[in-house]
Amino acid sequence: MCNLICFFLLLPLMYYVPLHPVHVSYSNIEYNANTRKLDIIIKLYTDDFEQIVNRKNNIILNLAKENELKNASIYCIRYVYDHFKIKINRNTHWEKTAIFQGKKHTELETFLYFSVSLKKQAKSIELTNTLMNDLYQDQNNLVIFNFSDNEIALKMDAKTYYKKLL
């Protein structure tokens, strides 16, 4: 009887699987054809973002803290340009015309804001998104692309990191 009671008490522990954190980023891309402008907002989890920037550059950003690295924005921008590539009208150098609008962060989330003014109407927009894939193999990058009255929602990951948006 004691063995049976012990078995039922220990049974849930045999199936216990520790919760695994969700590794996800969110990006919102809005294209306004009238103004020929792209507005981009990228949301990353601050601790993960600091970890990957530290690993790549051997620095500590201290985002959302009093002792934040003075040139933290440069490291944030560099990481985004390396892992979030937009090809507009077959031009692969969106970062040369992009304007970093700023960043907001809390201890939990970091928001990065960019805008791109185009000389011509966008006939094609392609996205390669490998944000945080170099840190987590199970990373998911959720993207919302808005243009005219259309909205496309995408889930990108280490295997599906490229998509033609327009």
pLDDT at 107: 82
* Single pTM value for the model: 0.84
Per-residue pLDDT of the chain (166 residues; tens, 9 = 90+): 544 454 444 445 444 444 447 899 999 999 999 999 999 999 999 999 999 999 999 999 999 899 999 999 999 999 999 999 999 998 877 888 899 999 998 888 999 999 999 989 999 999 999 999 999 999 999 999 999 889 999 999 999 999 999 8
Residue 154's CB is within 10 A of a number of other CB atoms, namely 16
Helix, strand, or coil here: 67?
coil
Q: Provide the pLDDT for residue 3.
A: 47
Domain ranges across the chain: 23-164
In this predicted structure, what is the pLDDT of residue 17? 41
